[in-house]
């Protein structure tokens, strides 16, 4: 029953997308300045039916309709309702349906919110967006259909991957998809802009809010995923340069560069073609990340599809998208002479873009290099944190100084009039760094420079609050937050404590200034898993501080999986983090204990960074 409804709705949406494209092309030939009413009506129906289609799949998960192969493979009758719902997008087919929802909703919202812009520009944006929608709908219907049935109908499902049964994973994909797929609307708008020669600052204003929305959601999506990996995977950190983590970070770099280049296009009516390139690049990187994950090329804990046929479809779709975009870009490209003064806001924004492109290229190279090496020489290699840290961190130091100086510059030309204040700030930053180093412990030159540059950015951004001219509160919040983010990452990296040892029940282990006692082991039965809960007593012999942490070993039946749940105690100053695993069914347990200073402030910094984006969005909406 639900299979028939779902497939009917998919077919209907394919028809509606084709109908929108047909009417839109027909309307381009019309002399009327007002868009046909039926185009609006069809987009409303299209958006409504896509949502109904998605909720049909949600209903199938709620009632455990195992006649649908997607439900059978990703759900179970004993699974809590919350995870039944989140299981809808915790798989390849359901997540792609969520993709189409974002594509469709953004298409509709752009159409009704861009009434002050030229007709042809809006119509071409709608046409290109619906070609994207149509492409993904055909992919879903023929290759990744969530409403495909399994015969005979099983009496029970296989269950959702246990590491995906987590509250953070319920909101992580929707947040990330709004960021990923939201970039499609300014991809479509950029192509429409070139087709219609709509290239002045009004074009920048038409897409600025959409870039901000996708950037905010992408930032929050990455944050939630990072928090999930921190406490669920037992890694004990905030970022591990996992290939799929990188796939989400690449569009973020492009979005950040695009946000800044839009300022130049809006204020000076220049950098148009560079802005177009960034619009095209952002969505291209989003689809590239999808291709790498869905095809199974990347080996990651995040990867949940491994089907070459899916990869080939997305690769063809991606190739056509890239080739078409590049052909149009080269056809429309007109060389311009953008002569910027070396000490102007335009130059600093351009420098920001260069840095973002460097980070993007570095992460892309580190992600793709192992794939090509494996394909060409069959030698499997991995590119991990040492590579990224050695390449990116030194450049971040320079970048932070430019972030501090950039907002002080004026448009067109400015003077170096505040060098004395800058000198005082950097002196204060160096002093603060040496105080931290003296009272805690010494560390490397690079670490010292990271601390100095981040403190310099923090102080510079904070002092901007008291300036009456050139005041932009959203920018101050974002730059201040980024400075704090790097500052707390530096403290966390330099002053973390890690201990790895084995214990059996009742045993005491003394390591340096710590006493560890495995006091108790308990067995607990939950609705969908069993857990062995350890009770570890930790005493700091120097400060006499005592902690009791309770890590878990969870045993799931559907599917049969063993997971290790970290026990974390969080304070404003540090996290106490411990995981426990059994050693080959012996009486000994491997214990990994970590103290992670200022961990919560890393998360808070990213939240306030997103808040800066929200304030900028409201400011932009008010000005328009």
Task: Let me know if residue 191 belongs to a domain.
Answer: yes
My answer on whether 241 and 158 are in the same domain is no
Apex 296 CA angle, 290 and 300, nearest 5: 90
Q: Please give the structure tokens belonging to residue 501.
A: 């040892």
Q: So what's the pLDDT on residue 470?
A: 61
Task: Please tell me whether residue 63 adopts helix, strand or coil conformation.
Answer: coil
My answer on whether 486 and 526 are in the same domain is no
The predicted-structure confidence for 584-615, as pLDDT tens digits, reads as follows: 878 889 999 999 999 999 999 999 999 999 99
Name the CA radius of gyration of the chain, rounded: 26
Task: Let me know if residue 308 belongs to a domain.
Answer: yes
334 band by pLDDT with thresholds 50, 70 and 90:
confident
The tally of domains found in the chain comes to 4
pLDDT at residue 478 is higher than 60? yes
User: What Å distances lie between residue 71 and 10, 101, 141, 335, 409, CA to CA?
Assistant: 17, 19, 16, 54, 56
Q: Where does a domain end: 135, 165, 195? A: 165
SS (H, E, C) 338-359: CCCCCCCHHHHHHHHHHHHHHH
The predicted-structure confidence for 245-286, as pLDDT tens digits, reads as follows: 888 999 999 999 999 999 999 988 888 999 999 999 999 999
Lowest mean pLDDT among 284-293, 314-323, 371-380, 388-397: 371-380
Please give the helix or strand (H or E) that residue 84 lies within, else none. Answer: helix 81-86
Write phi, then psi, for 583 (nearest 5 degrees).
-100, 100
pLDDT at residue 440 is higher than 70? no
Q: Where does a domain end: 165, 191, 224? A: 165
pLDDT at residue 304 is higher than 50? no
My answer on whether 199 and 300 are in the same domain is yes
Closest to 196 in 3D by CA, of 284, 117, 109: 117
Q: So what's the pLDDT on residue 443?
A: 66
Task: Let me know if residue 87 belongs to a domain.
Answer: yes
The predicted-structure confidence for 223-253, as pLDDT tens digits, reads as follows: 998 998 888 776 677 888 888 888 899 999 9
Give the bridge partners for 523, in sequence order.
Answer: 532
My answer on whether 409 and 321 are in the same domain is no
Task: Let me know if residue 186 belongs to a domain.
Answer: yes
Q: What is the DSSP letter of 237?
A: S
Task: Let me know if residue 619 belongs to a domain.
Answer: no
Q: So what's the pLDDT on residue 351?
A: 93
The predicted-structure confidence for 492-549, as pLDDT tens digits, reads as follows: 988 888 889 999 888 888 888 889 999 999 988 877 788 899 999 998 888 888 889 9
pLDDT at residue 395 is higher than 70? yes
User: Within 13 Å of residue 306, how many CA atoms lie on the same side as its CB?
Assistant: 8
Which DSSP string do the residues of 422-482 spell out, in sequence order? HHHHHHHHHHHHHHHHHHS----HHHHHHHHHHHHHHHHHHHHTT-SSS--HHHHHHHHHH
My answer on whether 203 and 159 are in the same domain is no
Q: So what's the pLDDT on residue 192?
A: 96
pTM of the model: 0.92
Task: Let me know if residue 512 belongs to a domain.
Answer: yes
82 band by pLDDT with thresholds 50, 70 and 90:
confident
Q: So what's the pLDDT on residue 616?
A: 93
Mean pLDDT of all residues in the chain?
Answer: 86
My answer on whether 424 and 470 are in the same domain is yes
Give the whole-angstrom CA distance, residue 177 versus residue 186: 15
The predicted-structure confidence for 367-394, as pLDDT tens digits, reads as follows: 888 877 876 777 777 788 889 989 999 9
Q: So what's the pLDDT on residue 209?
A: 95
My answer on whether 327 and 240 are in the same domain is yes
Task: Let me know if residue 612 belongs to a domain.
Answer: no
Q: So what's the pLDDT on residue 415?
A: 62
Q: What share of the chain is helix, strand, coil (3-state, %, to 5)?
A: 65, 10, 25
Q: So what's the pLDDT on residue 61?
A: 93
Give the bridge partners for 595, in sequence order.
Answer: 497, 576
Average pLDDT over residues 355-370: 92
Q: Where does a domain end: 432, 463, 495? A: 495
My answer on whether 200 and 338 are in the same domain is yes
The predicted-structure confidence for 4-31, as pLDDT tens digits, reads as follows: 999 999 999 999 999 999 989 888 877 7
My answer on whether 198 and 151 are in the same domain is no
My answer on whether 286 and 330 are in the same domain is yes
My answer on whether 5 and 87 are in the same domain is yes
pLDDT at residue 65 is higher than 80? yes
- Name residue, tokens 């999808």: 290
User: What Å distances lie between residue 318 and 41, 283, 323, CA to CA?
Assistant: 30, 10, 9
Task: Let me know if residue 611 belongs to a domain.
Answer: no
Q: So what's the pLDDT on residue 90?
A: 81
Closest to 87 in 3D by CA, of 99, 102, 75: 75
302 band by pLDDT with thresholds 50, 70 and 90:
very low
Write phi, then psi, for 382 (nearest 5 degrees).
-130, 145
My answer on whether 149 and 192 are in the same domain is no
Domain span at residue 557?
497-600
The predicted-structure confidence for 147-168, as pLDDT tens digits, reads as follows: 999 888 888 888 777 777 778 7
Please give the helix or strand (H or E) that residue 151 lies within, else none. Answer: none
More confident residue, 478 or 442: 478
């Amino acid at each position: 029953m639900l299979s028939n409804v779902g497939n009917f709705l998919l077919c209907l949406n394919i028809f509606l997308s084709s109908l929108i494209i047909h009417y839109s092309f027909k309307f381009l030939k019309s002399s009327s300045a007002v868009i046909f009413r039926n185009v609006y009506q069809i987009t409303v129906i299209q958006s409504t039916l896509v949502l109904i289609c998605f909720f049909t799949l949600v209903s199938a998960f709620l009632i455990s309709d195992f006649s649908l192969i997607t439900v059978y493979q990703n759900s179970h009758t004993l699974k809590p309702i919350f995870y039944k719902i989140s299981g809808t997008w915790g798989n390849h087919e359901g997540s792609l349906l969520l993709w189409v929802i974002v594509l469709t909703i953004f298409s509709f919202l752009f159409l009704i919110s861009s009434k002050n812009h030229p007709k042809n520009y809006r119509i071409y944006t709608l046409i290109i967006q619906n070609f994207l929608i149509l492409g993904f709908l055909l992919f879903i219907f023929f290759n990744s259909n969530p409403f495909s049935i399994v015969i005979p109908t099983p009496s029970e499902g296989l269950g959702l991957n246990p590491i995906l049964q987590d509250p953070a994973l319920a909101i992580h994909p929707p947040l990330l998809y709004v960021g990923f797929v939201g970039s499609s609307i300014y991809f479509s708008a950029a192509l429409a802009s070139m087709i219609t020669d709509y290239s002045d600052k009004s074009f920048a204003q038409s897409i600025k809010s959409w870039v901000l929305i996708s950037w905010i959601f992408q930032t929050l999506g990455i944050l939630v995923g990072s928090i999930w990996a921190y406490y669920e995977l037992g890694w004990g950190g905030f970022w591990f340069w996992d290939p799929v983590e990188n796939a989400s970070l690449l569009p973020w770099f492009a979005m950040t560069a695009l946000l800044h280049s839009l300022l130049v296009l809006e204020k000076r009516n220049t950098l148009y073609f560079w802005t177009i390139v960034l619009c095209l690049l952002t969505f291209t990187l989003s689809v590239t990340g999808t291709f790498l994950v869905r095809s199974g090329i990347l080996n990651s804990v995040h990867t949940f599809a491994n089907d070459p046929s899916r990869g080939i479809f997305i690769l063809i779709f991606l190739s056509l998208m890239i080739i078409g975009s590049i052909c149009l870009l080269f056809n429309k490209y007109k060389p311009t002479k953008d002569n910027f003064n070396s000490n102007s806001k335009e130059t600093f924004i351009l420098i920001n873009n260069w840095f973002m492109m460097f980070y993007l290229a570095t992460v892309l190279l580190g992600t793709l290099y192992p794939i090509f090496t494996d394909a060409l020489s069959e030698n499997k290699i991995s590119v991990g944190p040492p590579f990224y840290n050695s390449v990116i961190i030194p450049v971040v130091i320079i970048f932070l100084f430019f972030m501090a100086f950039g907002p002080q510059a004026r448009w067109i030309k400015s003077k170096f009039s505040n060098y004395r204040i800058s000198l005082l700030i950097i002196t204060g930053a160096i002093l603060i760094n040496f105080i931290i180093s003296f009272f805690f412990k010494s560390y490397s030159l690079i670490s010292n420079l990271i601390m100095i540059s981040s403190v310099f950015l923090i102080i510079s951004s904070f002092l901007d609050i008291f300036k009456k001219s050139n005041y932009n509160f959203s920018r101050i919040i974002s730059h201040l937050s980024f400075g704090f983010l790097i500052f707390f990452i530096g403290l966390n990296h330099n002053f973390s404590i890690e201990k790895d040892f084995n214990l059996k029940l009742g045993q005491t282990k003394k390591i340096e200034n710590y006493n560890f006692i495995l006091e108790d082991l308990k067995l607990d039965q939950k609705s969908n898993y069993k857990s062995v809960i350890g009770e570890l007593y930790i005493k700091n012999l120097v400060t006499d501080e005592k902690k009791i942490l309770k890590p878990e070993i969870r045993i799931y039946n559907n599917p049969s999986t063993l997971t290790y749940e970290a026990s974390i105690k969080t304070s404003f100053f540090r996290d106490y983090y411990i995981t426990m695993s059994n050693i080959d069914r012996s009486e000994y347990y491997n214990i990994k204990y970590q103290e992670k200073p200022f961990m919560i402030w890393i998360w808070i910094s990213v939240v306030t960074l997103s808040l800066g984006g929200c304030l900028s969005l409201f400011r932009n909406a008010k000005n328009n």
